[in-house]
Structure 1
Amino acid sequence: GPPGKGGDKSGEFQPRKTNSLGSGFIVDTAGIVVTNNHVIADADEINVIMNDGTKIKAELVGVDKKTDLAVLKFKPPRPLTVVKFGDSDKLRLGDWVVAIGNPFSLGGTVTAGIVSAKNRDISSGPYDSYIQTDAAINRGNSGGPLFNLDGEVIGVNTLIISPSGGSIGIGFAVPSKTVAGVVDQLRQFGELRRGWLGVRIQGVTDEIAESLNIKPARGALVAGVDDKGPAKPAGIEPGDVVVKFDGHDIKEPKDLSRIVADTAVGKEVDVIVIRKGQEQTLKVKLGRLEDNEKVQQAAIKKDEPAEKPQTQKALGLDLAALSKDLRTRYKIKDSVKGVIVTGVDQGSDAAEKRLSAGDVIVAVAQEAVTSGADIKKRVDQLKKDGKKS
């Protein structure tokens, strides 16, 4: 922190040396170590301490912050024993697993438990798919291996949920299938090269599924398409629901994010979408996800009083045609076509779905709209057709 303000002249702080201790495991006799990124993040110097206490300086090969993994390299002083990766896809709930690590700096400590869940999403990153286990994992276990009973590594112990700070039997490991892929890429390129589709997606709720005639509710709804992304030339449009990607079923948006990221850059894949109730197959050549892509911050909308535009009411919304004045007021580009929301009834379904003044409605049930009357007509027709939502 900065020196103390006020009358204290001696407030100069001395830099302090801090250490972080975690666990890791050796996957190659050349001295390749796998651990968690958070164990070595921002370190000035990294050392590998062997079981017998030998301490060797290690260098960083590469890190992947999105899966919290890091690969290190050191010069082996003697021949090393390595561990093998097993197949995490073959794990079953209730299978016994063994965690080995360095909790609370105690050195090699072994704990056992069972697999409580697979593909667990705890919203800690974009590609969450953890193995959940009740093998005791404590501070310092991070980066250590989770073994199956054949002695193969099927995960990397990464984090726990704990109100107390100690293990309460809810620990999470990155599955070996993910780890092996990340380690290969970090060794090969020193960075991750993930596939990129160039779409913004959201979940298909029961209401959306009903309105789009999708039974059962599944897939990832394309909310927007990046102008410079691979999806655009392939013909993927907003309103499409992706149900299959490269032969993999897409049950929810997270599945699509994960599978796209794991697919090789430049690969041409088949994408099956449902558009207006019909399945279509599109061919997409994947681009590369740039890690430095800045997430665009939505412009803050200010409701400034101005002349009242001509509005139409539908679904608890005040709707108006896009005029020059409204475009300026709500910072809407000329390229955007549609109908602008100028007000929302509190207590309406629209308010609950977080529609707000300044939003532009571009389509209703996959039909483009240009006026409030269009929207009203479409809504009335859908009600006639017996649609609940």
Structure 2
Amino acid sequence: MNNQRCLLPVALLVLGLAAAVPPSVLAALPALVEGQPLPTLAPMLERATPAVVNIATESRVQLRRNPLLDDPFFRRFFNVPDQPRERRAQSVGSGVVVDARRGYVITNHHVVDGADTITVTLRDGRQLDAKVIGSDSESDVAVIQVPARNLTALPLADSDRLRVGDFVVAIGNPFGLGQTVTSGIISALGRTGLGIQGYEDFIQTDASINPGNSGGALVNLRGELVGINTAIIAPGGGNVGIGFAIPANMVARLMEQIVDHGSVRRGQLGVSVQDLTPDLARAFNLPVSQGAVIAQVSPRSTAAKAGLKEGDVVLRVNERSIRDGGGLRNAIGLLEVGETVRLEILRDGKPLTLDAKVGEYVPAKAEGEALHPRLAGATFEDIGPNSPLAGKVQGVLIVGVDSGSPAARAGLRRNDIIIGVNRRPIASTAELRQLMIDRDGLLLNLLRGQEELVLMLR
């Protein structure tokens, strides 16, 4: 079954591909046509395609059924035959060998998420069992490992040096057909705000990519990996020339943490930010039109210790340009806790450079049973600066609801956001806890996706 995801009303289909061309391609050109060499990508592909693999996964999916079917008396009285409680689900995707010595393969988190078995098929037909080293759902990157025997790896390019118009090649396993190659150009860089992942800094390409290509490679004409393909915009269910890849530099930073820790330990500065719009730039008489404006600095945070102040405009992080608040969040979120970061800012229109240490963010949590009997079984969490919801909504996120619990029976769901209690807005678990004191009845205002709901709990 091919992977598929949605971007608002637009279907987002998972994808993949890979290829590349070294300078030696000119020396390997084949026959002449009217006295002129015939260009070809074949020599580069012969070098690159062995590093791109097909991934097949199997998982067990619990089937939903009427609770009466689990009652022995009911089953015996009505002579109900045994029915399966689960089914086997299969999916396909792609991956890229990036470390032949250790057998590390990069793919997408959603390709291997929940998989019981993972089978990697190499270009030469070998099938290898793989294990998950670690994965990060926020960036949709996973590292899996196969036995390191006679593997070919793709070198990683410096994706920060990509330009719109650069030629790229994609290789992957569309629709489970087997390895397929397409070519195109870089259509755009730094795509964010698509709602595909928590951390977005996509390369956009028109190289044709389709379902089943998720985790495949996007390479330049030197045969270097520039990105991992992860999604496409597909209004009609197929490729329309708008695909997205995670940049290689971002993949490299994430892979380093996943291999070391099994997950990504994201840091934070302790600030709330907003985009520097042209209107804000004119209002503050600033000589720039892009950047991230510091809206709030948390007391005793690493940002406060570094000297950041409200109204500062962050222009660069470690010499990387920051276009908006999302760009600052991405740049900090890819750094390890304890790492020192250099910030180039504008304060009152004057340039200033500050060094800050990336701190660890631990969101405040609250258990439902400690708040109200009808909330038992739910877990609540503050919306922190690293959350995709930061700066977009104020409230408390429900991060878990136990099946069959009072909270579940009351209608609460995971990922609901409580924005108000008894007609009073809330922004933290501390405020939620305060409003629960001596309350028999609760009126909860919720955000569920794009809809606002009201629940009365008695």
TM-score (norm 2): 0.61
Q: Which residue of 2 aligns with 1:25?
A: 96
Alignment RMSD (CA, Å): 3.1
Partner SS state of residue 100, structure 1: strand
Distance, in Å, in 2 between the alignment partners of 1:15 and 1:199 is 45
- Does the 8 Å CA contact 1:88/1:154 hold for their aligned counterparts? yes
- 1:269-288 mapped onto 2 (5 Å cutoff): 269-288=341-360
The one-letter code sitting in structure 1 at the alignment partner of 2:234 is S
The one-letter code sitting in structure 2 at the alignment partner of 1:215 is P
Distance, in Å, in 1 between the alignment partners of 2:354 and 2:162 is 33
1:80 and 2:151 matched: yes
The one-letter code sitting in structure 1 at the alignment partner of 2:177 is L
Distance, in Å, in 2 between the alignment partners of 1:49 and 1:67 is 25
- Does the 8 Å CA contact 1:126/1:257 hold for their aligned counterparts? no
Partner SS state of residue 254, structure 1: helix
Distance, in Å, in 1 between the alignment partners of 2:86 and 2:357 is 51
1:26–1:250 distance in 2 versus 1, CA, 3 Å: closer
1:259 and 2:331 matched: yes
1:100 and 2:100 matched: no
Distance, in Å, in 2 between the alignment partners of 1:250 and 1:182 is 19
Q: Which residue of 1 aligns with 2:121?
A: 49
Distance, in Å, in 2 between the alignment partners of 1:88 and 1:290 is 31
1:147 corresponds, among 219, 227, 230, to: 219
Q: Which residue of 2 aligns with 1:216?
A: 288
Distance, in Å, in 2 between the alignment partners of 1:194 and 1:331 is 26
What percent identity do the matched residue pairs reach? 40
Partner SS state of residue 60, structure 1: strand
After TM superposition, give the deviation of residue 213 of structure 1 in Å: 2.5
- 1:169-318 mapped onto 2 (5 Å cutoff): 169-227=241-299, 229-289=301-361, 294-296=381-383, 298=395, 300-301=419-420
Q: Which residue of 2 aligns with 1:377?
A: none
1:34–1:204 distance in 2 versus 1, CA, 3 Å: same
The one-letter code sitting in structure 2 at the alignment partner of 1:170 is I
Q: Which residue of 1 aligns with 2:132?
A: 60
- Does the 8 Å CA contact 2:363/2:382 hold for their aligned counterparts? no
1:300–1:23 distance in 2 versus 1, CA, 3 Å: closer
The one-letter code sitting in structure 2 at the alignment partner of 1:181 is R
Distance, in Å, in 2 between the alignment partners of 1:176 and 1:211 is 38
- Does the 8 Å CA contact 1:268/1:283 hold for their aligned counterparts? yes
Partner SS state of residue 139, structure 1: coil
Instruction: Tell me which moved more, 277-286 or 182-191.
Output: 277-286
Distance, in Å, in 2 between the alignment partners of 1:332 and 1:41 is 31
Distance, in Å, in 2 between the alignment partners of 1:301 and 1:188 is 41
- Does the 8 Å CA contact 1:193/1:289 hold for their aligned counterparts? no
1:3 corresponds, among 59, 65, 71, to: 65
1:15 and 2:64 matched: no
Distance, in Å, in 1 between the alignment partners of 2:167 and 2:289 is 34
The one-letter code sitting in structure 1 at the alignment partner of 2:307 is G
1:118 corresponds, among 189, 194, 198, to: 189
After TM superposition, give the deviation of residue 46 of structure 1 in Å: 1.5
- Does the 8 Å CA contact 1:225/1:232 hold for their aligned counterparts? yes
1:332–1:37 distance in 2 versus 1, CA, 3 Å: closer
- Does the 8 Å CA contact 2:419/2:426 hold for their aligned counterparts? no
1:244–1:52 distance in 2 versus 1, CA, 3 Å: closer
1:133 and 2:205 matched: yes
After TM superposition, give the deviation of residue 177 of structure 1 in Å: 1.2
1:229–1:161 distance in 2 versus 1, CA, 3 Å: same
After TM superposition, give the deviation of residue 163 of structure 1 in Å: 0.9
TM-score (norm 1): 0.70
Unaligned runs of 5+ in 1: 305-328, 334-389
Partner SS state of residue 255, structure 1: helix
Determine which structure has more spread, i.e. the larger CA radius of gyration: 1
1:292–1:174 distance in 2 versus 1, CA, 3 Å: farther
- Does the 8 Å CA contact 1:136/1:169 hold for their aligned counterparts? yes
1:31–1:246 distance in 2 versus 1, CA, 3 Å: closer
Kindly indicate whether structure 1 or structure 2 has the higher relative contact order, using CA contacts under 8 Å at least 6 residues apart: 2
Instruction: Tell me which moved more, 33-42 or 13-22.
Output: 13-22
Q: Which residue of 2 aligns with 1:324?
A: none
1:295–1:165 distance in 2 versus 1, CA, 3 Å: farther
Partner SS state of residue 92, structure 1: coil
Q: Which residue of 2 aligns with 1:165?
A: 237
For residues 221-258 of structure 1, give each alpha carbon's deviation from its aligned partner in whole angstroms, at most 9, with x where no partner exists: 22222335311223323333323434444332122122
1:226–1:84 distance in 2 versus 1, CA, 3 Å: same
